[in-house]
Structure 1
Amino acid sequence: MPQLVDAAQAAVASGPADPAAQMEALVREFQRTAVERDQQGGTPQAERDRIRASGLLHLVLPARHGGHGADWITAFDLARRLARVDASLAHVYSYHNLGVAIPRIFGSEEQRHHYEAATVREGWWWGNALNPLDRRCHLVADGDNYLLEGEKRFCSGSHDAEILPVTAVDQASGALVVLVLPGDRAGIRLHHDWDAIGQRQTDSGSVSFERVRVFRHEVLGSRSDAATPFGTIRACLTQLNLAHIFLGIVEGGLEEARACLLGQAAGGRSHDPHVIQLFGELWLQLQGAAALVQQAAVPLQQAWDRGPALTAEERGACALRIAAAKVATSRAGLDITSRLFELVGARGVTRGLGLDRHWRNLRTLSLHDPEARKVEVLGAWALHGQWPEPGFYL
């Protein structure tokens, strides 16, 4: 299919360790089993191991610790490329990249350097038990350290993860604090209770914590009362990451529909004027959403590079662009992936083709957080010039 959007705005160096080349090889490999694995659900263990072996777990980690030192534009673009064939793997892999950034945002310099170096040295995969709206986890003082009790929902990628970031309510202060725990710590129980229509290999079920020992150095900082705009940048990273996955899902679905049309031996459906017009309409829809996603990537990288010097206005401008990109990509994507069957015809509904997974995955992931809230914030900016207040999803 002709290139739908421009390439990533920042490329990594070519050569044997080129992350883009490594991801392209994995995408070709994973594409062969994507439909079957989507139908099976469960943990994509073999595929996670292949990502581990590739070295791509070190993508955004600094070169001084042995990482690739890639920027977020590159990281998001690689996740988008993977999402074209397997949105579940793109989800858990990109959440790992978001995870390794946590110590820089919430921790001390000492904690940041420790976790970055150890992740490269030990080959850790970072999971996720951060859900900030689920406040059933409580951190209780126990001598010089703590005990963690409670449960978290929607813990994507928690299975087979060596490191599990967690948010918990500090019983003493009431603050929502960020912890970093080994995934095999005694008292942590991972539940196989994820049963959604889409994103079926993300292990996004629940995790329970029963008197889990937490050492003082494993407590990073507060997520509820960030002292600086940079302390709230995690939400911007997560939202733009999701927008890129949405974009990849739609690109992959449209590419598969095109391959079906061009591969049909009889009927000449690809030459039907109505089919050509519909394909053009869907392609045009995608271009607008893709442009907004690309326009948001550079300000996000600039905000990340600013670090603690990031201002509230800079952060607000970045968040507005990301909100526009995510809403536009979700809306266009849900429409496009639901109309792929109009392009392909009756053959498009066969289970073996798996064309429906693109809509199911996007519908599932698009419910991560309320779209209406983003539109309201965009309206307040467009009408009154009002900057958005930082939040868990904005």
Structure 2
Amino acid sequence: MVQGTQMRRHLCGIQTAWTDAGQAEAAVAALAGAIERDGVGHIIVFFSPAYDTEALTAALGARFPDIGITGCTTSGGISPAGPIDRGLVAIAFPRRGFRIVAGVLTQIARLDVEGAATTVRGLRRLLDQGRPDGGTGHRFAISLIDALANAEETVVSAVAWALDGIPLVGGSAGDDLAFRSTVLIHDGKAHRDAAVILLVETEFPIRIFKSDNFEPTNRKFVVTAAREEERRVYELNAEPAAREYAMAVGLDPESLTPMSFAAYPLAVKIGGEYYCRSISRVEPDGSLTFFCAIGEGVVMTLAQPRDIVEATRAELDALDTALGGLDLVLGFDCVFRRLDAESRQVRHRIADLYRRYGVVGFETYGEQYRSMHLNQTFTGIAIGRVEGR
């Protein structure tokens, strides 16, 4: 595990810094001592839910005045040196080579879709206004969403519509599997029941991506009773949900844990492809709560994991080849992938891959990719090497 405070400057000019400091003010002080602030335009921070969020936002504002700051709580950070179970990871984007605009969508549990689309279109106009004459930069969008608002599908649909072809990736904020409070920060304020959207334009080559490591089996479940607004399933195949799921995977319903859900994911088929719909927890009444929207009549398929190390290696190798070398990967990695890797005792091998390819990011409660909200997936933006900068 990471210890102390470190910083790395990438070829594109981005600085990544990370610390395992136990208190918010100490963590920000460590970052301020590591990051060279001249020329920095925007900083994204992924931080432990153990930090006092108000103290963190105040300290960031005091240490990095006149710099845009956005971030969220996590279920673990990913630094270029390895995983961070407690602490803070920061990505400092330079003004040279990157232009970033950002905004907040509020009250997303009751999202005004037209209002959200108007906000995103306003961000696009801001990005257009600052574009150099004849500019042909590559564009992408990042979403950070309060997972406990249960609104990712609505948010992603509205945002993707308004982006009009700009690709979107992102992650849902976590809180170390406590499911009590996930928090976003943006420009000195803490937000709940909200989403932050960043639009980025860069002159560097990029690829967005998604990777998973599961494949469908022949075992099917039909959701026969559910409360969609709560993402809660009461019956599968007309049987109590937890019991039916546990019987299918050969476990005792009383012994189901996040490790169980990570090892035996469920998936739905959309447009010919399977997408994970991960279970977050068993409720006392034997119902199952999910990380994604789920409703009555949905058919789910029990999936079986493939080799997570080889699947991840293949994706990063392909990105490395396509971009002529990877400089940095900003990644959003489902916390259940970490649990699965731990249960198979291969987390260190995933960490080695992430160090080799310069992955930085956080462990999420859900991932966004284009117009989809996903689970048990690794999504992100890969930035290619440009020598001589």
TM tier, smaller: under 0.3
Taking structure 1 as the reference length, the TM-score comes to: 0.26
With CA pairs under 8 Å and 6+ residues apart, which has the higher RCO, 1 or 2?
2
TM-score, normalising length: structure 2: 0.26
Structure with more strand by fraction: 2
